[in-house]
Chain A
Amino acid sequence: MNNLWAEPGNSRLVASAKSIQTDWLMTDDALKQELKQRGIIVASFEDILDWGYNWGRKNSLWPLQFGLACCAIEMIAAAAARFDIARFGAEVFRPSPRQADLMIIAGTVTKKMAPLVVRLYNQMPEPKYVLAMGACAISGGPFKEGYNVLKGIDRYIPVDVYVPGCPPRPEALLEGLITLQKKIAGQRLFGKDLPRHANPEAPAEYPVPAYGPHDLVPPSNPGVFCPPTPSRAE
């Protein structure tokens, strides 16, 4: 879809709905290529809808104004005059989760804080995204051996982009934001492999962990947390 406006001026747009007998046009890649060389771009109605919908969403991501620890200061620095996150359309920090699209987990998530983070995530409306900023949010980071530190927020909620660093520089956060925008641009509203927000079978809420006698119960949500299986070279 990126080439929709590739040749402004001399391209004509052929939009076709599925109901019209144009499937031969949509499936013939060689023909598509030939037409493209002559300045005609073939796109389905769904393609155009996807493109417009995603273009609007990715350029106005409203983050939740939610700082946990050190990384929050770098998040504020990214929002301030010098790095100016407004260039990427994400400057509207919302204090309420009801109005936010993006949750930037900026800092260490402790076991006391984790249920509240999950609850805030549940309160955000779909489509919503999570950006884990910094080593602590990703894995516990330098505080991983601490008894009160959650070893990564991806144990309870799905994370879309990981931004490593301790703390990541504001440029790194912007890079993470651009990565998320690319991810959003590739999401489809129709067909197979739907993203969570367009998939009616995906869970609408994630269970909030409870404080157990020793640890959070459950220690992770198996529906979300899929750590890589350790493999040893033979």
Chain B
Amino acid sequence: MSASSSNFFSGTADAGALEVSLGPHHPSTHGVFRMNVRMEGETVVKLQPVFGYLHRNHEKIAEKNSWLAAMPYTDRLDYICSGTNNWAYAVAVEKLAGIEVPERAEYLRVIVGEMTRLQNHTAFLGFILGDMGAWGSALMYAFREREKILDLFEELTGARMMLNYARFGGVRCDTPAGWLDKARAYLATYPAFLDEMEQFLTGNEILLSRLQGVGVLSAQRAINGGLSGPVLRASGVDYDIRKVDGYSIYPRLKFRVPRGEVGDCFDRFMLRLLEARESLKILQQALDQIPEGPVVNPAVKQRGFKPPAGEAYGRIEGPKGELGFHLVSNGTEKPYRYHVRPPSLINLTLLEEMCLGTKIADVMVILGSIDIVLGEVDR
């Protein structure tokens, strides 16, 4: 075959190779994400991700504003899981300034954080089915269930999606009367939804053939790539920051960390289902054990907050992986440096490796199984 110049990649391409730009306007890219793909037939031989279509200067804006003013911006990082984003930022600031968090606030953070994980994994079920071509039905089921969790969030914080709930040394507000009972009553109905989804999906032949053996990632490569969260655990690595760091009240709670065996898309899919069940266990224990008391450390001045000079890295296990904030303070009321370690971006780094040799239709499924949110990838 004769060689011709390439549109996307350096060097030349075989004349038979086809180059396709997937995105940024594409229904399955989970936002504005672009992949330049070179194919031979339908097989992917080269893939290059293009970022930055949603780069909205999160870090720079946070460095211009006060410490507390960055809190609502963290909501908009990974906009599906705002509850855990707030929490991670608060953890980093508390580490920087050495702030104690009251007991009840820790429980509320765990409750909101695990509910966030639950609704993220619920939405994931709908989205990945959409990526496989089952557009609509699965998403309807998933969003019906997600709305119920959003209702609980709304009653607690006043917002459906952008919770803005954590504060330095606690949370913004206590639960309204009867909220814990409502949450308990709702969570009792959640396993029925998971059972229903599993009954519809897990044994489905089309789903199995689209997911099994697709996008296999070895444990070694996953560790070397710095991956975290469900994508790492699906490759068989036992690494959950809730267990490793034992932050907040997690050491007191009994739960297991599911792991995959093969590291393919099916493992990543099943891992979310299993994790959702473990989250339910955590939630039940936290709702039963939650003590009375203040929800925010009264010694902390939220407005005009000035941590001492220094730097700190705080991290938690977000629904998508290790979400960390690296903060540098020079003792003023603005962060000197504010850096986010987004799990979605770092999990995306091995996308090409997972996609090489697969068919072009599988690229969307692999991307969906990583579960990215572009607000976090581009920041």
Contact = CB atoms under 8 A, between A and B. Distances in A.
B53 A70 contact: no
A145 B147 contact: no
A40 interface: no
A113 B143 contact: no
A143 interface: yes
A76 interface: yes
A81 B374 contact: no
Contact of A81 (B54, B140, B160): B140
Interface residues of A, number: 33
A142 B74 CA distance: 12
Interface in B209-239: none
A80 B143 contact: yes
A189 interface: no
Contacts of B161: 70, 73-74, 167
Contacts of B53: 110, 112-113, 116
A146 B61 contact: yes
Given A69-B79, A76-B139, A113 B24 contact: yes
A234 B141 CA distance: 58
Contacts of A149: 56-57
A166 to B, nearest CB: 7
27 contacts: A65-B27, A66-B25, A67-B32, A69-B32, A69-B56, A69-B79, A69-B374, A70-B79, A70-B375, A72-B31, A73-B79, A80-B139, A80-B143, A81-B140, A82-B143, A95-B26, A110-B53, A110-B54, A113-B32, A113-B53, A116-B25, A116-B53, A142-B72, A142-B76, A148-B56, A167-B161, A167-B162
6 interchain residue pairs of minimum CB distance: A146-B57, A80-B143, A70-B79, A143-B56, A95-B27, A81-B144
Interface of B: 24-27, 31-32, 52-57, 60-61, 64, 72-73, 76, 79-80, 123, 139-141, 143-144, 146-147, 160-162, 374-375
Given A65-B27, A70-B161, 11 more contacts: A76-B139, A77-B146, A80-B139, A81-B140, A82-B144, A112-B55, A116-B25, A116-B53, A142-B73, A145-B61, A167-B79
Interface of A: 65-70, 72-74, 76-77, 80-82, 95, 107-108, 110, 112-113, 116, 120, 136, 142-143, 145-149, 166-167, 169
